[in-house]
Chains A and B, each alone.
Chain A
Amino acid sequence: MNGPHDLGGQMGFGPVAPESNEPYFHADWERRALGLTLSCGAFGAWTIDESRHARENIPPACYLSASYYEIWTRALEVLLERHGFATSAEIASGTNQIEPAVPKRILKAEMVAGVLSKGGPCDRPLETRPVFAAGDRVRTKNFNPETHTRLPRYARAKTGVVEAVQGAFVFPDDNAHGKGENPQWVYTVVFDAAEIWGEGADPTLTVSIDAWESYLERF
């Protein structure tokens, strides 16, 4: 979707303003928001792709003025309601009112170290051979789906060169919507800045994205 999250090349946000000796958290609720997001992810009720899409669906004015832990929290509330774990009325009131859905797993303290060190690999075996090879010239798709995609707007309908075949991975455009993992080959595709930004582009700049095979056609 062409949501507020798709920020590459947008203007007007001002300087980056790095903070020296930045703490990991700027308020205690950010700590809890991190822990709750990961704990609820362990239910196994939604995928990382669905959670990204929930974040993208936060209305633009809210998304762009929120800190990232606020974005996580608002998306988590949506996911909890969608999957039957907690209603917005319960979350607003802080009181338990419905019998929740049954999660596949509840993360206990003693499981945390194991779960974090294992992670959630999303490479998958694939029978088919990659269509493209390093050095191939490719053009990215021009599309504007209302659904989840990981092809940023700035890199649509652009010509670049495949630099590497990176393996086969779960396809987020399907997986975010419960349509299955449908893995595809992923390629690192490099673009000259002039191809993306046109007139006035930095001649020393190249930008790469990691693109699923169906985002690409041979040029």
Chain B
Amino acid sequence: MHDDHEHHHGHDHDHGHDNRYTDMQARVRALETVLTQKGLIDPKAVDAIVETYETKIGPKNGARVVAKAWSDPAFSDWLKADATAAIASLGYTGRQGEHMRAVFNTADTHNLIVCTLCSCYPWAVLGLPPTWYKAPAYRSRAVIDPRGVLAEFGLALSKETKIRVWDSTAELRYLVVPERPAGTEGLDEPALAALVSRDAMIGTAVAGVPS
């Protein structure tokens, strides 16, 4: 059910899902038509919102924050003490990033972010959440079986590693700062940022290694 998107890539056709997507297409179109007729919405504003989240706000923002934290100890300290202000200094503010907290992985603790109650996610630094983050499998299991969840992402932590799961039940939004990979001493911030995936900043991955 939550792999609906699969059907749009040509796998496993299930006509129940196709019908559901067709129904939603009609439903949302009718909604937009009525609201536009009433003068309550500006379809160009809808376009502008979509364009913002498709092209301007995404995990590259968060990767730049992490790369700077790796490179600049003063920034790292600031990020630990006041993540909202430190992140705003790079120009990332606003919706679903109003109250930020950065949590740092260490040699013995791995952090994982979830919202069991809805889909809270740090949009200002990571953009819109992936489908799996909002779906029941992840939301139900992250808090009880995080190792099982991480294994599904191909991440096997050592048995001794402590796992801290942060359930975003209030208005704080969490960004995981993964550990800086070995062998990256000579890299500048853009090269470091390229090693930081969206999943590494949710906690379902670790940072990549330089190729």
Which residues does A use to contact B, with CB under 8 Å? 5-11, 13-19, 22-29, 31-36, 38-40, 43, 52, 55, 64-65, 67-70, 73, 76-77, 80, 85-86, 90-96, 100, 103, 106-109, 111-113, 115-123, 150-152, 154-155, 166-167, 169-170, 186, 188, 190, 193, 196-197, 202, 204-212
Contact = CB atoms under 8 A, between A and B. Distances in A.
Nearest to A52: B118
A196 B143 CA distance: 10
Given A39-B46, A100-B40, A109-B47, 16 more contacts: A8-B140, A9-B143, A24-B54, A24-B128, A26-B8, A27-B21, A39-B35, A68-B134, A86-B31, A109-B42, A112-B52, A116-B49, A121-B98, A122-B99, A169-B170, A204-B159
Nearest to B158: A204
Contacts of B97: 119
B178 to A, nearest CB: 17
B95 to A, nearest CB: 4
A118 to B, nearest CB: 6
A9 B144 CA distance: 6
Interface residues of B, number: 88
A38 B46 CA distance: 8
B161 A39 contact: no
Given A24-B127, A27-B21, A52-B118, A10 B140 contact: yes
Given A112-B52, A152-B169, A6 B117 contact: yes
B30 A94 contact: yes
Contacts, number: 292
B48 interface: yes
Contacts of B98: 119-123
A32 B41 contact: no
Contacts of A24: 53-54, 127-128
Interface in B14-28: 20-21, 24-25, 27-28
Contact of B46 (A32, A169, A206, A207): A32
Contact of B95 (A18, A80, A96, A120): A120
A152 B116 contact: yes
A214 to B, nearest CB: 13
Contact of A112 (B48, B128, B159, B169): B48
B54 to A, nearest CB: 6
A181 B202 CA distance: 30
B25 A205 contact: no
**7 residue pairs, one from A and one from B, having the closest CB atoms:** A35-B46, A94-B30, A210-B170, A8-B116, A109-B44, A26-B5, A68-B134
